[in-house]
């Protein structure tokens, strides 16, 4: 891949001056990042926002929650019992892909203009302030002033996506994007049904690179974050459906965490959002009894839109062979592990990892129900207030 530069001489700013400028911007954004949370609807349990007439891109926030929407504070106790009543059907299929719901309307990517770095920094700061206030400065420094991340991820929207992985299960990806594991992350032309892929120059000494479909250059960075995380789990040319299942199971949890911090992107109606929503829908509806899982479901509902849903893993069958793991996978599994538990020390994309994921759901019952509310799913009477 080329970076589009010519061979002409380019004057370079001294690094010290660049860092001072970036540090000043970090300080300025920090001054507004926490207060701006008051302008957003709710906290980490925020309710949904209206689904607009057209896709909302990276440069525009969807409006605040419609007063007619259920309040997030209405998610009540007894979440474990309500989990037994899954799968929850969508009340608005237009929030999900046409593959999942063929009558849900055309899929249209987000449109520009692209937001400025200052705008992205403000939004990143407010997102992190709601999730982990003590790490807002770290996230803004990564986005604005970290030379390693800026080198690998020069595009501001993708760099904001990477920085927003802090305090999620996808945080180990940030290290991989800074330590030379990947040479570059950028946009490129890919098939319409491919959100991103990992490529290689073919030279052993060259690190792989991540290409994100250029159709999605204006998508909200909080939706792109799980896509970038997913690709960092692919670090060699051996990829099977089993590896894709594990990566997708993990990135769906990361997407849920993004929505729990700020749910507004979930109802933007953009093409990429509808793809990730469909995957997240399958993820939170899978699992027996009160827990999330991959291979089973509580019941097959004949009235479910589009036909009875299948367990999350079913779409990936046949799973194929095991493939080698890497540090991003092992560190992510360690974050998901329940207290006192540990993932396999040499975890790969294999059956042991699948069993581990099936046993460690990563989200509490209340978080699953809040995610269901954000996706406008039909939950049992009394779960979500009217």
- Distance, CA of 143 to CA of 110 (rounded, Å): 22
Q: Kindly state the average pLDDT of the residues 233-237.
A: 92
Biggest alpha carbon–alpha carbon distance for the chain: 67
pLDDT digits (tens, 9 = 90+) for 145-199: 999 999 999 999 999 999 999 999 999 999 999 999 999 999 999 999 899 999 9
Q: Are 228 and 185 in contact (CB under 8 A)?
A: yes
- Reading phi first (left if > 0) and then psi (alpha if -120 to 50, else beta), residue 4 is in left
pLDDT digits (tens, 9 = 90+) for 310-320: 899 999 999 99
Q: Are 22 and 159 in contact (CB under 8 A)?
A: no
Closest CA to 297 of 83, 87, 90, 88: 87
pLDDT at residue 134 tops 60:
yes
- Distance, CA of 284 to CA of 294 (rounded, Å): 9
Coil, strand or helix at 92: coil
Q: Are 333 and 324 in contact (CB under 8 A)?
A: no
- Distance, CA of 280 to CA of 310 (rounded, Å): 13
What is the per-residue pLDDT for 78?
62
Q: Is 174 exposed, middle or buried (0-12, 13-18, 19+ CB in 10 A)?
A: buried
The residue with tokens 């530069």 is: 5
Q: HSE (CB half, 13 Å, CA atoms) of 30?
A: 17
What is the per-residue pLDDT for 63?
39
Mean pLDDT (the chain, rounded): 82
Closest CA to 269 of 87, 45, 92: 92
pLDDT at residue 139 tops 80:
yes
Distant-in-sequence, close-in-space partners of 236: CB < 8 Å, separation ≥ 6: 208, 323, 324
User: What pTM does this model have?
Assistant: 0.82
Element (H, E) at 196: strand 196-199
Q: How far apart are the first and last CA of the chain?
A: 52
* Candidate ranges 22-26, 40-44, 55-59, 246-250; pick with highest mean pLDDT: 246-250
What is the per-residue pLDDT for 6?
26
Q: Are 267 and 41 in contact (CB under 8 A)?
A: no
pLDDT digits (tens, 9 = 90+) for 241-268: 999 999 999 999 999 999 999 999 999 9
Token reading at 139: 């996230």
| Percent of the chain at pLDDT exceeding 90 | 66
- Distance, CA of 53 to CA of 63 (rounded, Å): 12
């Amino acid at each position: 891949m080329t970076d589009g530069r010519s061979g002409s001489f380019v004057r370079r700013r001294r690094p010290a001056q660049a860092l001072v400028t970036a540090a000043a911007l970090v300080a300025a954004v920090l001054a507004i990042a926490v207060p701006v949370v008051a302008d957003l609807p709710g906290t980490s349990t925020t309710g949904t926002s209206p689904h607009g007439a057209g896709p909302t891109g990276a440069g525009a926030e969807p409006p605040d929650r419609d007063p007619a929407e259920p309040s997030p504070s209405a998610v009540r106790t007894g979440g474990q019992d309500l989990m037994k009543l899954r799968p929850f059907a969508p009340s608005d299929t237009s929030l999900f892909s046409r593959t999942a719901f063929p009558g849900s309307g055309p899929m249209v990517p987000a449109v520009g203009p692209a937001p400025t770095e200052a705008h992205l920094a403000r939004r990143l700061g407010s997102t992190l302030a709601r999730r982990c206030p003590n790490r807002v400065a770290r996230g803004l420094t990564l986005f604005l002033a970290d030379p390693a991340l800026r080198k690998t991820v020069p595009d501001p929207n993708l760099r904001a996506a990477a920085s927003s992985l802090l305090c999620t299960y996808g945080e180990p990806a940030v290290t991989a994007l800074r330590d030379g594991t990947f040479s570059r992350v950028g946009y490129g032309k890919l098939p319409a049904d491919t959100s991103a892929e990992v490529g290689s120059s073919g030279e052993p000494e060259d690190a792989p690179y991540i290409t994100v479909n250029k159709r999605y250059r204006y998508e909200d960075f909080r939706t792109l974050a799980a896509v970038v995380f997913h690709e960092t789990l692919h670090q060699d040319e051996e990829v099977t459906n089993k590896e894709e299942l594990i990566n997708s199971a993990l990135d769906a949890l990361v997407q849920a965490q993004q929505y729990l911090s700020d749910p507004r992107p979930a109802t933007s109606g953009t093409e990429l959002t509808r793809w990730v929503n469909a995957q997240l829908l399958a993820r939170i509806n899978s699992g027996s009894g009160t827990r999330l899982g991959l291979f089973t479901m509580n019941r097959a509902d004949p009235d479910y839109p589009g036909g009875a849903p299948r367990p999350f893993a079913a779409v990936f069958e046949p799973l194929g062979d095991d493939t080698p793991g890497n540090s991003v996978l092992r560190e992510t599994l360690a974050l998901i592990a329940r207290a006192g538990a540990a993932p396999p020390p040499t975890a790969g994309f294999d059956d042991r990892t699948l069993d581990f994921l099936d046993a460690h759901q990563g989200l509490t019952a209340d978080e699953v129900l809040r995610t269901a509310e954000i996706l406008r799913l039909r939950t049992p009477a009394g779960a979500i207030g009217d």
